[in-house]
Amino acid sequence: MSTVAVRAALILASIMLAALSSAPAVAELPTHRKVLTLRPLPSEHVTDQESGFPIYSGFGVAVAIRNGVAFVGIPDAVPDSRVGVYGQTASGWVRTGTLTVQDPLVFNKDGFGRAIVFRDGVAVIASWKFVHVFKRVNGVWTDVQKFAPPPDSFDSFWRINDMRLENGILVIGSASTFIKGAAYVYELAANGKFQLRATLRASISPRPIDVFGSAVAVAGNVVVVGDPEQSIAYVFRRRSDGTWAETQRLIGADTSPVESFGAAVAIDQGMIIVGAPRHECLERADGFFCNPSGGSEPVPGGGAGGAAYVFTPIAGQYVQVLKLRPRADEHANYYSFGRRIAMMGKHVVIDAALQSTEGEGIPGIEAIPNGLSFSYLRDGSTLTARGITSGYVQSESMGLANNWLLVGAAHDPQEHCQNELDFCLGEASVFDLNRFR
C-alpha cells in the first residue's frame, strides 16, 4: 500500500469518524420483542433433592441458527451430552430432534454441544475430544464425519473457543493457558469431507503461551483471528495456490491503549468488526463490573464499558472507520460492550452486559450480570443503532440469521440460578429484530 494511498485512506477514515461522532442524539433505544424462550426437556436435567431447584444442564452454552433451523447445545444434560434441534413452523419454533454421539468422557460427560456452527445445511458440533459434522440425510440429521485435532495440537479441541463456517471453509479457534493458541482452517473437499489446510498462529507473541484464537471469523478468502491478550486481530488471506498467509494486523486507533481488542471478531461483506469489551472499563478484578467503588450499584451517570471497532477495505487494506460505543441517551448502563459480535446482511448485533447484583443469602457470591445486546442496521459502511435485547442473564452464545437473533444463556434470570451453585435450567431466547415490544 503506497504512502499516498495510506494518506488518502486515513483522510477518508477521519472524515467518516467525524461525521459519525456528530450524529444527532436519539431517545433511549427500544427493546426488540422476544418471540420465544427455549428450555431443555424435563428428562434432560435433574433436580437437587434438598433445594428442589433444577441443576445446571448447560442448555444454551452454544447456539446456531440458519434457514429456519436452530441448534442448542446441552453439554451437561442427563443422561448424556446432546444438542436440541428446533425448526421454524407456522406456529413458531418447535423442538424437532435431538443429536447425541458416543465420545470419550471428560468430567463424566463427552461435552457434545459445547460449540456449534451451522451453514449451508452443514452443522459442525464439538465435543471435548472431537468435532462432528452433521448433514440431513433422507430427512434425518446424520453424523457424516468425525475428526480429531491435528497431531501437533496437544489435544486442543477440548479448548475450542470459537468456530465459524462459511462457503465450505471451517475455522476453529483454540486458545489456552497451557499452550500457544492456534486457528485451524479446514476446507470442504470434493468428496464432501473437511480436510485440514492450515494451522494459523500469531506472528507477534512475546510469551510461550498466548490466547490467539480466542475469536475467529471467515468470509470468502479472508480469515480474522483475535488475540485479546496482545490486543491484535490478525487478517489472513487464501492465496491463489491455496495456502493461507497473514496480510495485516489490526489494532484499535484510540487515545488510550485498547485493552482486550480481539476478544470478538466478525466479518461480512467486506466489513470487519472487532470487539474490545474491557476497553475504558473501570472494572473490578473479578471481571464482572465496571465500577470503581467495587460495589454492586451502577456508576452514577451510567457505567459504560467496552467498545467495538469497524474496519472497511480502502486501497487494499482494512482501515478503521468507526469506533462503536452506545451513547448515554441510547442506553446509559452497559458493560463489556463488544464481548460477542454477529453480522449478517443488513443486521449487526453487538453483545454486552448489565450491572449484576450480589447473590442473596450466599456470602461472597456475586450474581451473573444481566444480558444486553445492541442491534444496528447496516447500509454500506454506515451503522445505525436500532434497538436492544434484554430479559436474560449474560449470554454465552449468540446466533444471527437475517432478522432472527438466538441468544443462549446457560443460567436462568431467576436469582437461584445466578451463582456458582449452578442451579438452573438454562435457556435460549429467540428475538425478532424487525419487531419491538
Angstrom distance (rounded) from CA 185 to CA 194:
9
**Secondary structure class of 349 (helix, strand, coil):** strand
pLDDT at 292: 37
- Distances, alpha carbon 294 to alpha carbons 21, 51, 355, 400, in Å: 31, 31, 12, 34
What are the structural domains, with CATH classification, of the chain? 3-436 (2.130.10.130)
The predicted-structure confidence for 340-361, as pLDDT tens digits, reads as follows 999 999 999 999 988 654 444 4
**Secondary structure class of 125 (helix, strand, coil):** strand
Is the distance from CB of 182 to CB of 162 less than 8 angstroms? no
pLDDT at 87: 96
Characterize the bridge pairing of strands 169-174 and 140-147: unpaired
Is the distance from CB of 244 to CB of 221 less than 8 angstroms? no
Angstrom distance (rounded) from CA 273 to CA 357:
30
Which contacts of 88-92 are long-range, i.e. CB under 8 A and separated by 24 or more positions? 92/35, 92/36
Low-confidence spans in the chain with pLDDT less than 70: 1-27, 152-158, 176-178, 206, 208, 281-304, 355-367, 413-416, 418-422
Angle at 368 between CA 130 and CA 74, to 5 degrees: 30
Angstrom distance (rounded) from CA 271 to CA 318:
8
Cα–chain center distance at 62: 9
The predicted-structure confidence for 167-187, as pLDDT tens digits, reads as follows 999 999 998 656 788 999 999
User: Which residue(s) pair with 199 in the sheet?
Assistant: 184
pLDDT at 8: 43
DSSP string for 275-323: EETTTT----TTSS---TT-SSSPPTT----BEEEEEEEETTEEEEEEE
pLDDT at 247: 97
Among candidate residues 187, 176, 183, the one with its CA nearest the CA of residue 203: 183
Is the distance from CB of 427 to CB of 29 less than 8 angstroms? no
